[in-house]
Amino acid sequence: MVSLSSLGNSDFMQNKYVQSGFMVLLTIVLTKFISVLLGSRSSKNLPPVVSAWPIIGGLLRFMKGPVVLLKEEYPKLGSVFTIKLLTKKVTFFIGPEVSQHFFKAPEADLSQQEVYQFNVPTFGPGVVFDVDYSIRQEQFRFFTEALRVNKLKSYVDQMVYEAESYFSKWGEEGVVDLKYELEHLIILTASRCLLGREVRDQLFEDVSSLFHDLDSGMLPISVILPYLPIPAHRKRDRARKKLAEIFTKIIHSRKQSGNNEADMLQSFIESKYKDGRPTTEVEVTGLLIAALFAGQHTSSITSTWTGAYLLSHQKYLSSVIEEQKDVMKRHGDKIDHDILAEMDILYRSIKEALRLHPPLIVLLRSNHRDFSVTDRNGKEYAIPKGHIVATSPAFSNRLPYVFKNPDIYDPDRYAPGREEDKIAGAFSYISFGGGRHGCLGEPFAYLQIKAIWSHLLRNFELELISPFPAIDWNAMVVGVKDKVMVRYKRRALSVDQ
């Protein structure tokens, strides 16, 4: 039998449990409500998001061409917006005002290492994106030292020699594919200045073929799955191993003989870290491969676009020829580093081709810290930790509020009095990146392209006979899609006579 007191206690306990359960449920509901409310408030500051499919997000649109996507979304969403790519969120910064944080942020905030890991199988272990930031900074110092003015002056002599030698094999007149010719000349010049005399004189064909296999192993799928066991990757890995063997022998030979050469290879061999440790053979090989990859494509692409534009615009072609005449009147046929530096009109012509067609169309960083960015209209956006932050030289270089008639080839936009690349701020022109990670090889690239085009303008009459080339958007490094057929005729006399 149950007593009255026990029933009372039972009712009390049941009421207590009901009250406790109600309070727990109320707490959960209130917590959820507050989190949703706070989330909705904070989301007001997040960048707008590109409409996309569930799960895959905007991957298909992005893979078809990021510049096309940017052209469609920028007018609707403004200079800061996010696109979902599978599990990643990529936030684009478009324009000099919002790009400042992208280029100036410390590595602890925005880093290259995570987003460029796909380069590791190509460059090799222990260099660039396979080491922590402090070591990478020291390796970048090696590049800087190898590209100092005194080094560049010796490189120019080699550039001029290679150009004279290469074009001496052309006949009195003929038709050539300028894209093919410049690609081959650039790899010859790069081999001599960067990889060394041994490669240029004895091993060029072998090394060139291996670099081609290495290059062919850099596919769009490589960005996502760099170690996927496909034929192109296996060929890449074999080429990388053989290149390491070749450079190891060359390094051994130089060290034993005490022979010093004026090239980047020698500079890397002699480089030392701050603690006094010398570079290893593995590191030297990786740094050389990284240097050639960084310079070969960009220089050959930009030199080809420069030619296509000049030969399509008689006004600017006449200007650069007149400049060559003036330089030759003052210096004769001699070409060196300081004389190339005087060629301002040619420099602006190259720079404008590079504005219209930067080979690297998207730059990426991994964001490790929440921060905010303010657009040119004063609107502030919160950029969450974990986003990939991106900018596009190909799109930003054609913003109409920065560059007048941005789709028109106009080298004079950089002339004194206009200088459109500076009016909107430090990051108006970003073909070579900028800030903490600006391209170290920019001076080398301009000298190389100047040396080639100075020789062509002085010694040949040139005429573009094919249609203006299209852009190869499918390439990892975006370049010229079509042949650039040019009719040439060797000048009977030097250009100033």
Instruction: List % helix, strand, coil for the chain (3-state, nearest 5).
Output: 60, 10, 30
Half-sphere exposure of residue 288: CA atoms within 13 angstroms, side-chain side: 33
The kind and range of the H/E element at 89 are strand 88-93
Task: Report H helices in 258-280.
Answer: 264-270
How far apart, in whole angstroms, are the C-alpha atoms of residue 460 and residue 167?
10
Tokens of 126: 């222990």
How far apart, in whole angstroms, are the C-alpha atoms of residue 112 and residue 103?
11
N-terminal to C-terminal alpha carbon distance within the chain: 128
Task: Report H helices in 332-485.
Answer: 337-341, 344-356, 393-396, 420-423, 442-459
Q: Is 193 labelled a binding residue? A: no
Cβ neighbours of residue 439 under 8 Å, at least 6 residues apart? 294, 432, 433, 445
| DSSP letter for each residue of 349-380 | HHHHHHHH--S---EEEEE-S-EEEE-TTS-E
| Beta strands at 380-383 and 371-374: parallel, antiparallel or unpaired | antiparallel
CB 425 within 8 A of CB 126: no
Burial class (CB in 10 A: 0-12, 13-18, 19+), 391: buried
| DSSP letter for each residue of 142-161 | HHHHHTSHHHHHHHHHHHHH
How far apart, in whole angstroms, are the C-alpha atoms of residue 157 and residue 262?
10
CA angle 409, 414, 415 (to 5 degrees): 115
- The structure tokens 């006579």 sit at 497
The kind and range of the H/E element at 179 are helix 178-190
Per the DSSP assignment, residues forming a β-bridge with 472 are: 479
Residue count (the chain): 497
Tokens of 211: 């670099």
Cβ neighbours of residue 269 under 8 Å, at least 6 residues apart? 251, 254, 255, 279, 284
Task: Report H helices in 65-132.
Answer: 66-77, 96-104, 120-123
What residue numbers does the annotated binding site for heme cover? 439
Residues of the binding site = 439
